[in-house]
Chains A and B, each alone.
Chain A
Amino acid sequence: MKIPRLLLFVIIVAVVYGIFKAPGFFLKQPIPSSLILMYMFFVVITVLLWMTSTEEGMQGLVGPIKALIEDPGKKRLRNIVFVIVPLVAGFITYQQIKPSYEAPVELRSIHPAPPASIKVFNKTFSLQTLENPYRKLEKEDPAKFTQLVKEGGEVYFKNCFYCHGDKLNGRGHYAHGFNPLPLNFTDIGTIAQLQESFLFWRISTGGPGLPKEAAPWISSMPIWGNFLTEDDVWKVILFLYNYTGYVPRSWEK
């Protein structure tokens, strides 16, 4: 049996919407409503484009709507539709604008751009040219490098793991007291995309070192430059990459 075009359109849109809602129901990882709105907009557009790309398809889609409006024999159905459609539209509008106690959506960038240079440990560092002084030992002296990674691990477990967790996934003991949660270093979108100088900046200057743009920030990261040495910071960076298996962004092989 051939499904009428208009019905097919409704079925496709409903099924796709269900697919987008599924991760929220089954995996506890809801796709944000803002994104579902964008997804659905383009799904609807694409289905319409496909269906109207031929004259036959266009008639199949528009024909029933045209008949509903123009055909005198469909007067009763028309009246029902003309009552239901405004009611549905009104209900959706009401849902959108009704007062809510929920805090407003945050439209902010969580990914700050680093400054050109920073002053920490009584020195000025140009982040453009700054490199981890121990990185070269990975090839030149693997034994020494492993030792440094181990020392970095000690720094991590003495200072960082309370928030960032023993698996570096941002789920430390104190993590649930923060919103947003501490950064998950095992996420491919975090340290794997960054240069080591970026991490040096974020660790050394913490939340207060974040740029003025897009302030106020809600980072709880302490200024580790006040508690750790420059060497400690470089070592803990080695550890972060070594543990997660990621390689810092660089322009060299």
Chain B
Amino acid sequence: MRLFSVVNREIPIAKRRSLTALFLLFFLFALPVVKSADFFPAGIDTVYASEDAAKPATPAGEGEVKAAQPEEKKKEYPPAPQLKESDYPQVKYINGRIMTWMVAQLHLWFAAFVLAVPIFVFIIEAIGMATKDKRYDKLAYEFIKVSLTAYSITAVFGGLLLFTLVVFYPDFMKYMANIFSPTFLAYALIFFAESACLYIYYYGWHAMETGFSKWAHLTVGWMLNVVGTMLMFFANAWVTFMMSPHGVDANGVFEGNLWAAIHNHLWNPINLHRVIANVAYGGSVVGAYAAYKFLSARTQEDRAHYDWMGYTANFIAIAALLPLPFAGYWLIAEIYAYSQQMGITAMGGVFAWLFITQAVLIGALFLSANYYLWCGMERSKGAVKYTKYIKYIAFVIVTCFLVWFTPHTLILTPGELKALGGPYHKYLGPLGIMPAKNTAVNIMLLFTFLSFMLYQRCNKIPTVSWASRGNAFQIAIFVTAIINIGILGIYYGYFTNTVYKVASSVLQVASTLSVIILCTVINIFMYKGAKEVAPLQWGKMPDRSQYALFLLAVSFTWLMGLMGYIRSALRQHWHVYTVFRDSSPDAYTPTIGYAANVVTVATILFMAFVIFIFWLSTLSGKKETAHH
């Protein structure tokens, strides 16, 4: 909410509270399945302990003798087929796996974008209603306009994905349909509902601008988000079933409980991770749009508008980026808990270096987001007193960043290997494991938040009498949190067992979130009625800052592609992990370089589509200008 106080300081506290409550209510509705117990490692053993007997699909060896099944069950639901290479149709000149991979990836990127945009459009529209500031309404409308074309492309790639799966993997699709066919039908119906909501929401924007109809319009926006999120949850159930099958026996025979298959071990972690990541991703793509418009703007008014839009989009992306590492950590911890093989394959085995690539890209996200905020200080005449701190923030962020991507197993020349006596470094080795990473990322988040706080303060002078004590208290909160994160990371990370190590990461997150919440609350009261140094000069941003927004969008896209590949490839030569073997000619794990090339080509294709969408919106913009 602090963002909006920058651009409009007249939002009453009560309204802010009600909007926050509205936002929380949405997530309570959309995420009813994320149980609190699932957040903690203790929940893991509960799942295993209680379900061991009833969970026949725990990862089994290939050569393991499969249990005999009751005859009637076999009749009702067939076991997973044991396919041969010849069971996979081949199409001349087309590689089935590459095509499915590319199409699925493009569909996912667009889907993530079109699911995310309505979330923050809904919030911005609500804020516009509460503040009666038309700028919010205009901004929200422009956001949803960008996503509309993307929606059609999402549907096109969704259809194409279905075709490629049916053409190249017919037996797999048949098996999945045997279990999930009710959800397929529900998915189709909900898709229609989503389309209806989106079209009413977009085309009815101007017709439903006042009075009760505006409330009705906002409700349609709410429904759009609910059905969109449900759609994603269905798709998540299919992909997580493939990773952590549940509700089937060791032969893949479905036991008839659809909910068990949906509510498999990884469903909730993926649901949470994707909702948050989508918002961050949507923010970054819209930020790139704003940067594109900013750089091509011909008037000062347009520059100011798109500068504000870029700032808002960047705020959304960063706000969602803050909790994202924790959601990701929870997901990977659950993957490890489900299967030691998948956990080690991901973090220590063949995909370990893709995780280093991921760390590098995430670091690049943080750096670019911070750079954009630092450049943003140029908008204010009061920034001079804070710019001297940038170098310290930069120092801490880059130090944490280096720790964040330091690998455990190093790439060594034979000479270095001999000098070190092994693949592990005596001093850097401890930085290669998760406690160091968690500590680094938490501190990196805190200092990114500090950048944001300084940005917000630079144009204001507090008038309350307790301002200096407030500042001292905020410094104390920061210092305490950093010490706490350090102790949790070092002591519990290295000198106790892994249960405490994983649990301490939750407390580290709690420290970071406490700082963010407490400092935000203090700021709200401390800067109430604050004097402005001078009006913020929207549009007074160097062009180079806009490339940070482009970098944000490209990094996010690439990152999602690479990490999505890891998530999917963890199954290795299984369609459905341990119960349905992939016998196609492509059932091998490609090299990291090959996979990275495929994802990179897909990223370039996606970016080409995105630029096309931006260009289309420019055309409609010209039309609107001509009408005026």
Contact = CB atoms under 8 A, between A and B. Distances in A.
A112 B341 contact: no
B60 A116 contact: yes
A187 B341 CA distance: 22
User: What is the size category of the interface that chain B forms with chain A?
Assistant: 35 or more
A182 to B, nearest CB: 8
Interface-central residue, A49, A58, A107, A112, by most chain B CB under 10 Å: A49
A49 B61 contact: no
A50 B390 contact: yes
Interface string A217-253: 0000000000000000000000000000011111111
A179 B424 contact: no
A132 interface: no
B72 interface: no
Interface-central residue, A42, A113, A118, by most chain B CB under 10 Å: A113
Interface stretch (B75-83, B412-420, B507-515): B412-420
Contacts of B375: 53
A74 interface: no
Contacts of B418: 179
B213 interface: no
Interface in A170-224: 170-171, 179-181, 183-184, 187-190, 192-193, 195, 197-198, 213-214
B428 interface: yes
Nearest to B497: A247
Contacts of A79: none
Contacts of B428: 31, 35
Nearest to B570: A113
Interface-central residue, A30, A38, A58, A251, by most chain B CB under 10 Å: A251
A55 B542 contact: yes
Given A38-B405, A179-B417, A32 B344 contact: no
Interface stretch (B20-28, B282-290, B347-355): B347-355
Contacts of B48: 251
A252 B349 contact: no
Interface residues of A, number: 72
Contacts of B544: 52, 58
A129 interface: yes
B409 A116 contact: no
A119 interface: yes
B568 interface: no
B426 A29 contact: yes
B367 interface: yes
A102 B416 CA distance: 11
A30 B423 contact: no
B100 to A, nearest CB: 22
Nearest to B408: A189
B41 A187 contact: no
Given A102-B413, A107-B411, A128-B340, A189 B433 contact: yes
B412 A32 contact: yes
Interface of B: 41-42, 44-45, 48, 52, 58-64, 337, 339-342, 344-345, 348-350, 352-353, 360, 363, 367, 370-371, 374-375, 377-378, 387, 390-391, 394, 397-398, 401-402, 405-430, 432-433, 494, 496-499, 542, 544, 578, 589
11 contacts: A28-B419, A29-B419, A46-B401, A49-B370, A50-B374, A58-B542, A106-B411, A116-B60, A170-B422, A171-B421, A253-B499
